[in-house]
């Protein structure tokens, strides 16, 4: 059984060395593990909450997509897409909004922090708070639940959002009487590397202390490394490697043997200038091949667009059938499909006729149930990798069901096998299918 893992990347900036070590590299490595069905998406709708500069958002989408591809993300193996290319996500977000209590959103950390800051400044509590910021956790829940992700790796600051996604999923499942959504598991990234920046604080754009990953080329990389703050120990004096930002950075990108050799040189008195040059050369050897791919991708955005569109098409093969099922669940049905003219049906009222109900199981397979007019399950289909195959079998059963096919399905196989099937049940299944074909 594959485990579906989902990771979103907000498109509000240019990736730096700290982003690569802390998030990009481990995520790409994890996606290659057996049994992992990895989903990576560019969270460009989320970017609109934080950034109102269209040019910056557009550029960031290009740079971040190029970065992930350049560092080795296998777009054929994973599902790599833009959030904004999946229209089912904002539609699901609205369905979830309609079952989410405002009180739950009132407790969101980002919203409470904004309110606290406004109160401290003596202005209206909601001054500057948009509905995008307020309902951000619901859109995040839609990102996760749309593809029924099993695991979502996050930092500790995002734990609350994952807990909210679980709460919202449970609420929807309860209201509409079935487990439409898998409850996502929070995966805390305890081992994420936190790199020091030029001044020793955490590498962050907020501190303006970052080392570029690809932007500016080798020249910008060397210039940044040479600006790293060190102590006043002269060449020849032993250096304390453990307290050195240079050593921490070197170790994050080196083997155990390489790190030990660099540490020994520092402790034997290597000058800081030589140490910075050694760090630069080590990083350049690692980054140069990836930078070459990055530059080529940036120069050919059409290639990135094709990859993202292919990823969106792959993602929508999952989103479309689930969204259709959810629309059916909340009452947004085709008027020819089970609705009785002039009568409003309650959301938990049983259908008036036999019907198929499609769903996606925990293993990721597409299945359907045949329900009798009173809601009793008469038949459970086998699992299909492609939803079109499940739909094709439903059409076959409605148009011309054979006893061999029905017997096989009732026995849990694709074709008839040895053993008797209850003739009463077989007759009920056949009658239900006939009634559906006459509707």
Q: pLDDT tens digit string along 273-303?
A: 999 999 999 999 999 999 999 999 999 999 9
Whether 337 is in a domain gets the answer no
Residue 220 sits in the same domain as residue 178: no
Whether 272 is in a domain gets the answer yes
Query: Which of 68, 18, 71, 22 minimizes the C-alpha distance to 42?
Result: 68
Structural domain ending residue among the three candidates 277, 294, 311:
294
- Which residue ranges make up the annotated binding site for ATP? 10-12, 18-19, 155-157, 195, 202-206
Residue 269 sits in the same domain as residue 304: no
CATH number, domain of 221, equals: 1.10.240.10
Residue 231 sits in the same domain as residue 286: yes
CATH number, domain of 368, equals: 3.30.160.160
Whether 27 is in a domain gets the answer yes
Residue 88 sits in the same domain as residue 52: yes
Q: Is the pTM of this model over 0.75?
A: no
pLDDT of residue 392: 81
Residue 410 sits in the same domain as residue 278: no
Whether 335 is in a domain gets the answer no
Residue 237 sits in the same domain as residue 312: no
Residue 178 sits in the same domain as residue 214: no
Whether 25 is in a domain gets the answer yes
Whether 361 is in a domain gets the answer yes
pLDDT of residue 330: 95
In this prediction, the residues of the chain whose per-residue pLDDT falls under 50 are 339-351, 413-419
- Which residue ranges make up the annotated binding site? 10-12, 18-19, 143, 155-157, 195, 202-206
Whether 199 is in a domain gets the answer no
- HSE, CB side, 13 Å, CA atoms: give it for residue 323: 19
Residue 323 sits in the same domain as residue 275: no
How many separate domains does the chain show?
Answer: 3
- Which residue ranges make up the annotated binding site for L-tryptophan? 143
Cα–Cα distance list, 246 to 238, 259, 277 (Å)? 14, 11, 10
Q: Which domain does 367 fall in, by range?
A: 355-437
Tokens of 152: 């979502």
Whether 172 is in a domain gets the answer yes
What is the residue whose two structure tokens read 């009732």? 410
Structural domain ending residue among the three candidates 330, 345, 375:
330
CATH number, domain of 109, equals: 3.40.50.620
**Residue 266 buriedness (CB in 10 A; 0-12 / 13-18 / 19+):** buried
Residue 307 sits in the same domain as residue 371: no
Tokens of 77: 């193996």
251 with 175: CB under 8 angstroms? no
Query: For residue 369, what is the enclosing H or E element?
Result: strand 366-371
Using alpha carbons only, give the angle 437, 414, 419 rounded to the nearest 5 degrees.
105
79-82 and 3-10 beta bridge pairing: unpaired
pLDDT of residue 337: 61
Residue 80 sits in the same domain as residue 149: yes
Residue 50 sits in the same domain as residue 160: yes
322 with 146: CB under 8 angstroms? yes
Say how far residue 139 (Cα) sits from the centre of its chain: 12
Residue 254 sits in the same domain as residue 361: no
């Amino acid at each position: 059984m594959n485990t579906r893992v989902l990771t979103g990347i907000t498109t509000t900036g240019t990736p730096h060395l700290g982003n690569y070590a802390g998030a990009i590299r481990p995520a790409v490595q994890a996606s290659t593990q057996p049994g992992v069905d990895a989903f990576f998406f560019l969270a460009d709708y989320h970017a609109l909450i934080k950034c109102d500069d269209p040019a910056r958002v557009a550029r960031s989408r290009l740079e971040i997509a190029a970065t992930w591809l350049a560092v080795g993300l296998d777009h054929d193996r994973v599902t790599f897409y833009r959030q904004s290319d999946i229209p089912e996500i904002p539609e699901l977000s609205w369905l979830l909004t309609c079952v989410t209590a405002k009180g739950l959103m009132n407790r969101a950390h980002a919203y409470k922090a904004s309110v606290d800051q406004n109160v401290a400044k003596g202005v209206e509590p909601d001054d500057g708070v948009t509905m995008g910021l307020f309902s951000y956790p619901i859109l995040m829940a839609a990102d996760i639940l749309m593809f029924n992700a099993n695991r979502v790796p996050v930092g500790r600051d995002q734990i609350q959002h994952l807990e909210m996604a679980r709460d919202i999923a449970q609420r929807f499942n309860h209201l509409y009487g079935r487990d439409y959504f898998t409850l996502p598991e929070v995966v805390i990234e305890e081992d994420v590397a936190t790199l020091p920046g030029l001044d020793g604080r955490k590498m962050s754009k907020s501190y303006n202390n970052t080392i570029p990953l690809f932007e500016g080329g080798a020249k910008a990389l060397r210039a940044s490394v040479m600006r790293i703050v060190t102590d006043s120990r002269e060449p020849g004096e032993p250096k304390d490697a453990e307290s050195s930002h240079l050593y921490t950075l070197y170790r994050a990108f080196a083997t155990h043997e390489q790190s030990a050799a660099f540490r020994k040189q520092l402790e034997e008195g290597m000058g800081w200038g030589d140490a910075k040059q050694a760090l630069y050369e080590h990083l350049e050897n690692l980054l140069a091949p990836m930078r070459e791919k990055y530059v080529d991708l940036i120069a050919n955005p059409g290639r990135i667009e094709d990859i993202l569109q292919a990823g969106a098409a792959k993602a929508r093969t999952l989103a479309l059938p689930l969204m259709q099922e959810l629309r059916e669940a909340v009452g947004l049905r085709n008027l020819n499909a089970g609705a009785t003219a002039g009568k409003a049906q309650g959301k938990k009222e049983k259908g008036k006729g036999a019907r198929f109900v499609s769903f996606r199981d925990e293993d990721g397979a597409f299945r359907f149930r045949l329900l009798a007019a009173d809601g009793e399950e008469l038949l459970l289909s086998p699992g299909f990798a492609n939803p079109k195959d499940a739909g094709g079998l439903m059409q076959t059963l409605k148009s011309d069901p054979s006893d061999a096919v029905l017997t096989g399905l009732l026995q849990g196989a694709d074709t008839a096998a040895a053993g008797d099937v209850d003739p009463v049940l077989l007759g009920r299944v056949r009658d239900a299918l006939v009634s559906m074909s006459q509707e």
